[in-house]
Amino acid sequence: MENKDSVLMERYEVGRLLGQGNFAKVHHARDLKTGQSVAIKVIDKVKALKAGLTNNIKREISVMRRVKHLNVLQLYEVMASKTKIYFVIEYAKGGELFNKVAKGRLKEDAARKYFRQLINAVEFCHGKGVFHRDLKPENLLLDGNGVLKVSDFGLSALVESKCQDGLLRTTCGTPSYVAPEVIYGRGYDGMKADIWSCGVILYVMLAGYLPFHDANMIVMYRKASNADYKLPTWFAPEVCRLLSRMLDPNPVTRTTISEIMEDPWFRKKPESHSNIPREIGGEEGKGEELRKPTRLNAFDIISCSNGLNLSGLFAESNQNKEALKFVSLQSASTIMSKLEDMATHLKLQVKKRDRGLLILEASVEGRRPLSIDAEVFEFTPFCHLVELKSCGGDPKEHWPIVEKQLREDLRDIVWAWSDGRQRMNSA
């Protein structure tokens, strides 16, 4: 993946680097089949394992599956090689929202527009029991239509604090967007902590700078804990009221998402439509679930596997030495036709053909014929477990030769063999 324009799993042409962290690099990529742009987040498995993030990654994958919303960057699929995990994510062509803010504060209507989209995403995710815990400028991206996309919802365990320059960036290790109760480690309510961060984000969009800022971190923490911030003269009274309820240092009395959604400033219609990002279908994504991706995903494989390798899926594979198993990211029909091609090539006779099952037989002169059952099990429409096992004849003698041929003939449709060998191209 270091090389520009390498091909990943024969499916994605991987291009320029979009961003980078300690464990992850994000690349632009193009789906070779559909031509669609995607972002691929590459996580170094060894680093993630060493940092004890295995369970986090698995938990977060399962979380991401539940979160499909217009204003949340969608995770399309997860793939893995021996050393890397690849998150294939919706591509946000417009880049970070805060690059816009860095050029100057936003007009009230534009800020409200983005804020609504942010609150809609947060409300939806909270409804699914998912809290971001790390809402900050780097996580607010825009798509090609200017629609806000919250990134890393559920992946916050993987987000590292980064040293960044610039007015709107947190200085290294300064959690300018984090609620006071989180800073003081008192145990916190994820919903209320996210609301605080949204309040800071709203302030930054309207002001062009942070509400709580000081070169001395202790002073900054104290300012946040005392809600010690100044309201610029251009802030409308309604937004001042909303901010004061969001930036309430006491999480118990801090406002709720439903109260924010009822707030007069939040609900106010835009005065002009210029410079405001176009909404898709006039909707702001409220409660709207995206269509289920038709593309494959390998979430299940990784999230039910042992460690971050796939061997846990094949727990019993050692019990039958004359068997071969692999995961394929092809459709069942492609797999079945490949199995038939393989049978023809290896001069195996098809004895039975059923949905997802082929019984093949090899005539071996002077011996009982070798029978092979090939069975395809579906995880998702584009993710299958394929099992080939010898069921008759003299497998001990012939299997090693047959197995070698089978492996060769089927390699095009194999994503990972049960013995942990994973096929990767140029990755």
* DSSP per-residue letters across 356-394: TEEEEEE--TTSPPEEEEEEEEEEETTEEEEEEEEEES-
Bridge partners, 19 (sequence order): 26
Residue 29 touches ligand AMP, criterion: CB under 6 A: no
Token pair recorded at residue 364: 């071996």
Region 157-216 residues binding ligand AMP, contact defined as CB under 6 A = 159
Identity (one letter) of the amino acid at 256? T
**Residue 151 sits in the site that holds ligand AMP (CB under 6 A):** yes
Residues in 30-89 at the binding interface with ligand AMP, rule: CB under 6 A: 39, 73, 89
- Please identify which residue in the block is written with the tokens 């309820």: 245
Coil, helix or strand for 350?
strand
192 is in an annotated binding site: no
- 152 sits near ligand AMP (criterion: CB under 6 A): yes
Answer yes or no whether residue 26 interacts with ligand AMP by CB under 6 A: yes
Output the smallest distance, CB 224 to ligand AMP, in A: 23
Let me know: does 298 contact 87? Beta carbons within 8 Å: no
Smallest distance from ligand AMP to CB 39, Å: 3
Q: Is 24 in the site for ligand AMP (CB under 6 A)?
A: yes
Q: Which of 141, 142, 339, 424 binds ligand AMP (CB under 6 A)?
A: 141
* Residues in contact with ligand AMP, shown as a per-residue x/- string from 96 to 115 under the rule CB under 6 A: x-------------------
Minimum distance of ligand AMP from residue 96's CB (angstroms): 5
Count of residues near ligand AMP by CB under 6 A: 18
* Among 138, 248, 263, 387, contact with ligand AMP (rule: CB under 6 A): 138
Contacts of 109 (CB under 8 A, 6+ apart): 270, 271, 272, 275, 276
SS3 423: coil
92 scored as a contact of ligand AMP (CB under 6 A): yes
Q: Which stretch binds ligand AMP (CB under 6 A): 47-55, 92-100, 251-259, 332-340?
A: 92-100
Among 276, 262, 274, smallest CA distance to 111 is for: 276
Q: Which stretch binds ligand AMP (CB under 6 A): 56-64, 151-159, 303-311, 362-370?
A: 151-159
Q: Which amino acid is at 127?
A: G
Judged by beta carbon, residue 44 or residue 375, the one nearer ligand AMP is: 44
- Measured from the CB atom, the residue of 20 and 337 that comes closer to ligand AMP is 20
Amino acid at 246: M
Query: Among 15, 21, 293, 356, which residue sits at the site for ligand AMP (rule: CB under 6 A)?
Result: 21
Nearest-CB residue for ligand AMP: 19
Handedness of CA 327, 420, 74, 243 (dihedral sign): positive
> By the 8 A CB rule, do 51 and 43 touch?
no
> Cβ(270)–Cβ(276) under 8 Å?
yes
Whichever of 147 and 362 has its CB closer to ligand AMP, that residue is 147
Between the CA of residue 102 and those of 99, 159, 235, what are the distances in Å?
A: 5, 22, 18
From the list 18-26, 122-130, 231-239, 354-362, the region that binds ligand AMP by CB under 6 A is 18-26
Q: Name the residue with tokens 């019990």.
A: 319
CA distance 201 to 160: 19
Find out whether 61 and 78 touch, Cβ atoms under 8 Å: yes
Q: Are 24 and 2 in contact (CB under 8 A)?
A: no
Q: Please say which residue, 108 or 143, places its beta carbon nearer to ligand AMP.
A: 143
Q: Which of 5, 134, 165, 300 is labelled catalytic?
A: 134
Dihedral sign for Cα atoms in the order 323, 327, 330, 332? positive
Residues present in the chain in total: 427
Options 19-27, 103-111, 123-131, 323-331: segment touching ligand AMP (CB under 6 A): 19-27
Candidates 7, 13, 19, 217: give the one binding ligand AMP (CB under 6 A). 19
Q: For 142, what's the count of Cα atoms within 13 Å in the CB-facing half-sphere?
A: 19
Nearer to ligand AMP, 27 or 325 (CB): 27
What's the DSSP call for residue 15? E
Helix, strand, or coil here: 399? Answer: helix
Q: Is 152 known to be catalytic?
A: no
* Minimum distance of ligand AMP from residue 137's CB (angstroms): 8
Which residue, 24 or 202, is less far from ligand AMP as judged by CB? Answer: 24
What's the min distance (Å) between Cβ of 37 and ligand AMP?
9
Q: Is residue 91 involved in binding ligand AMP (CB under 6 A)?
A: yes
Q: Residue ranges for the binding site for ATP?
A: 41
Question: Which residue ranges make up the site for ligand AMP (CB under 6 A)?
Answer: 18-19, 21, 24, 26, 39, 73, 89-92, 95-96, 138, 141, 151-152, 159
Could you list the active site residues? 134
